[in-house]
Amino acid sequence: MMNEVSDVVLPFYLTGEGATAPRIRGRIARLHHAQDAILSRHDYPDIVAGLCAETMALTSVLSSMMSFEGVFTVQAKGDGAVKTLMSDMTQDGDMRCYAAFGDDEMLQSAYQGPALLPRLAGSGYMAFTVDHQVTKRRYQGIVELDGPHLGDAATAWYKNSEQLSTLVMTIAEKTADGWVSSALLLQQIAVSGGKNDEDDLYKQPEELDAESLDLWHTAMTLCSSVKTDELLDKNLPLADLVYRLFNSLGPHIQPTRPITDKCRCSPQKVEVMLDGLSEEQRASLADDNGQLVVSCEFCKTDRTFDLTAL
């Protein structure tokens, strides 16, 4: 499908005009209905929901940069009104999100001014984690929160870890038709490395020739021309936007990856968690009739357990 407008990540690459070898890999995502369903259940204040939407857009593009079987997580921790932003995604695109934040007064005081993230999260850090399901291996990258958008922290992380030059943009907006967010990522590809090594968070930097550097700078300039309205336009197919932005740089579209509103919680997982508690701990969580309600922080599903029957 080439005309998808939302709830997908569209991978693409740029070869430069008239060339055939990929020089820049790209990802563009737009989230709408799946993300709006997640945020509707949470019913967070708008200011928090907006950051969650950006977090989900970021999660979708970063996870699509890696091949893994398991879970990719983006978690931001701050010392401001918003304490935690967390979003994770499986290799199949099952996504969920959660936020922890202070009281209304703290949030209200952060409403003033244009840049949302620094005012809300204060100083903090962002962590990217890949948990491999089969091997149980875990990779984690950490960077300070810096800049007005979550994508800025991701850009800084790539830069700090001395990888190939990477640009990550994220944006979110509440519309009459629900929350829409978008993320755009561009990354240099070393010419010698024909095959992308995508099996972990870190990529080795390699020398780039002058032509590749030139192409990269042109792509950066074109990126800076992209309008928020274009990224968030629910009627503009992502492929069309890629062609519109990078038409002069030999864009090649790859198959999209769907993003779905799907939590990984289950009654079995909650039972395992309850089994890990002592009898006293369980009793302290239950009501007078021995009923214990466990609510999933991600999807808000309530599950009731009868302690007398466990």
Q: Which amino acid is at 115?
A: A
- Shortest CB 233 distance to Zn ion, Å: 31
- Shortest CB 96 distance to Zn ion, Å: 7
- Shortest CB 300 distance to Zn ion, Å: 7
- Looking at the Cβ atoms of 205 and 267, the one nearer to Zn ion is 267
Closest to 47 measured CA to CA, from 115, 145, 147, 127: 115
Strands (E), 254-301: 257-258, 260-261, 291-295
Closest to 75 measured CA to CA, from 84, 65, 83, 66: 84
CB-based contact 9:60 (threshold 8 Å): yes
- Shortest CB 272 distance to Zn ion, Å: 14
- Shortest CB 294 distance to Zn ion, Å: 10
The token duo for 159 is 């830069």
- Looking at the Cβ atoms of 240 and 271, the one nearer to Zn ion is 271
CA distance 244 to 242: 5
- Shortest CB 90 distance to Zn ion, Å: 13
Q: Would you list the DSSP string of 45-93?
A: -HHHHHHHHHHHHHHHHHHTTS--SEEEEEEEEESSSEEEEEEEEETT-
Closest to 73 measured CA to CA, from 96, 92, 46: 96
CB-based contact 66:198 (threshold 8 Å): yes
Q: How many residues bind Zn ion (CB under 5 A)?
A: 5
- Looking at the Cβ atoms of 47 and 270, the one nearer to Zn ion is 270
- Looking at the Cβ atoms of 42 and 174, the one nearer to Zn ion is 42
The token duo for 101 is 């934040």
- Shortest CB 67 distance to Zn ion, Å: 26
- Looking at the Cβ atoms of 106 and 265, the one nearer to Zn ion is 265
- Looking at the Cβ atoms of 95 and 241, the one nearer to Zn ion is 95
CB-based contact 37:179 (threshold 8 Å): no
Residue in the structure block whose two tokens are 């949470």:
42
Residue in the structure block whose two tokens are 């274009």:
230
Sign of CA dihedral 219, 256, 65, 189: negative
- Looking at the Cβ atoms of 196 and 301, the one nearer to Zn ion is 301
- Shortest CB 264 distance to Zn ion, Å: 7
Binders in 249-308 for Zn ion, by CB under 5 A: 263, 265, 296, 298-299
- Looking at the Cβ atoms of 222 and 285, the one nearer to Zn ion is 285
CA distance 97 to 135: 25
Which residues in this chain contact Zn ion in the complex, by CB under 5 A? 263, 265, 296, 298-299
